Amino acid sequence: MTRKFDQHFWMSTVHDNCNCHGQRQYQHRNRHHNHNHHHHHHQHHQEQQQKQHFSSSTTSDGSEKDEKRRSKIKVPITREEHRAIKEAANFKEDDNEDIAYLNIPLLWPVGIVSVFSMCFFLFAFSAMELNEHLSFERYALNQLLFTYGKTLGFCNNTMPYERGMWPSFLRQVEMKVLTNVCFRVSVCVPMAIRIFVAFIIRNLYRSNSLLLRRNALMHYLNEISASVATVEVFSLSLFSIITIRFDYAHFYNAMFGTFILSATFYMFLRSMLTFSADELEPIEQLTGAVRLVCCILFTWTASQLFQIHQRFIYHTGCHGYVRPGEAITEYIALIAYAIFSLLQLVDIRYVRFICYPRTSSGECEPLRPENFEPGAKFEHCRAFEWIQRNNPNWQQQQNTSPNDCDIMPSNALNSNFEQSTQRLSNKLFFISGNTTR
């Protein structure tokens, strides 16, 4: 029995020893595996740190280069500087005209308003003979009874009516209510359109004439033409509204004289500037010739018309008739002025009216995502920065005068970009330009 116990004790001891040895081997293997795993993990961590350090150094180098590149960017302060930057790179703005609200030739609305105005003018001219010119005459007092709407009165017959006299349009506007109303409508309704067209024509000649860029005198004459046209339109409207007998005769006289002078000067300017274009199409050559003839006729007849109408202003007669020669002079002046005004439709035949969506910042529109990716032209929502970053000639030009550059920090550019892309709204802008012929 003792032998069995010893055998059992020996077997259990051997078994325990084997278990202990196995556990030691297992622990050793686990310890070795953990050591290897820790070593690999430490090595992997070092590699990640090296990669991060390399990427951070690369990013810092790139950011430094980007900062240096952006530090040379000139931020335009005035409209002229912005235009100069665009012209230096031949930049064409993305106006999204393919998704425009409106994209029509400007010739149609201006033409409709012009036809409307001419119809009322012709009706005013023909309405002169609808009513009787001569009212009841009191021979004893040498006076005439006149009617103006509901107003009745007597006027001194300083220039009695003679057989064979012709009607004067300007005098009939003063005498007849219907003629006066139609004349006011034909003159006052297209006021804004006429001023608008005058500025468009000035801008077209500014862009398409090399002579205006080289000749300072021609350039300034073109610049003041729009202002002269504005004075002409306002003076014509005022003297069409004001009456001689019931308003202010002196103010009427001042506006009439201002209209004669400004209209003559503007017709002379436009006739001269028509032939300053670099290239003239046949229709433009014909328009220039007709415009020159109208200018000569109006200049010749306007001076005589001014003197004839002065007598009526200061010595208002009782009827609207004048001698045939004086009436023909007035008709020639009116026809020449009307034809000259209609010829402006030829100048704007290529101009289009475009309404398209834009951002509240007014600089770019995030409708095409590819335009706002890194390196795209609207990356920072500033076209002038894209021009200067992608135009090496501009940097060479700016290196000659670095003191004139204004620097905008990059964080300011990014903040402006984020703000402008977040605040999306719709605005209407107008673009006028001469399309390819």
Give me the tens of pLDDT residue by residue for the chain, a chain 437 residues long.
Answer: 444 434 343 444 434 444 444 444 444 444 444 445 444 444 545 555 554 554 454 455 555 655 555 556 666 677 777 777 767 666 666 556 666 777 889 999 999 999 999 999 998 888 777 665 554 444 444 444 444 444 555 566 667 777 888 888 888 888 778 888 889 999 999 999 999 999 999 988 887 777 777 888 888 998 999 999 999 999 999 988 887 777 787 888 889 999 999 999 999 999 988 887 777 888 988 999 999 999 999 999 998 988 888 877 777 767 778 888 888 999 999 999 999 999 999 999 989 887 766 544 444 444 566 765 667 666 555 555 555 666 666 556 555 544 343 434 444 444 443 444 333 333 333 434 444 43
User: Do 410 and 318 share a structural domain?
Assistant: no
User: Do 372 and 249 share a structural domain?
Assistant: no
Predicted pLDDT of residue 296: 95
Residue 17 lies in a domain: no
User: Do 292 and 214 share a structural domain?
Assistant: yes
User: Do 204 and 245 share a structural domain?
Assistant: yes
Domain boundary among the residues 350, 379, 400 is at 350
CB contact at 8 A, 248 and 241: no
User: Do 365 and 260 share a structural domain?
Assistant: no
Residue 63 lies in a domain: no
Residue 27 lies in a domain: no
User: Do 279 and 157 share a structural domain?
Assistant: yes
Backbone phi, psi, residue 315, to 5°: -130, 75
Separation between Cα atoms, residue 180 and residue 270, nearest integer Å: 29
Predicted pLDDT of residue 260: 93
Short-list 434, 345, 437, 431, CA closest to 102 = 431
User: Do 275 and 323 share a structural domain?
Assistant: yes
Domain boundary among the residues 296, 315, 350 is at 350
Residue 432 lies in a domain: no
User: Do 163 and 137 share a structural domain?
Assistant: yes
Residue 66 lies in a domain: no
Range of the domain at 340: 127-350
User: Do 305 and 180 share a structural domain?
Assistant: yes
Predicted pLDDT of residue 155: 62
User: Do 173 and 227 share a structural domain?
Assistant: yes
* Global pTM exceeds 0.85: no
Domain boundary among the residues 350, 385, 401 is at 350
Predicted pLDDT of residue 165: 81
Instruction: Name the domain count of the chain.
Output: 2
Separation between Cα atoms, residue 86 and residue 92, nearest integer Å: 8
User: Do 88 and 221 share a structural domain?
Assistant: no
Residue 144 lies in a domain: yes
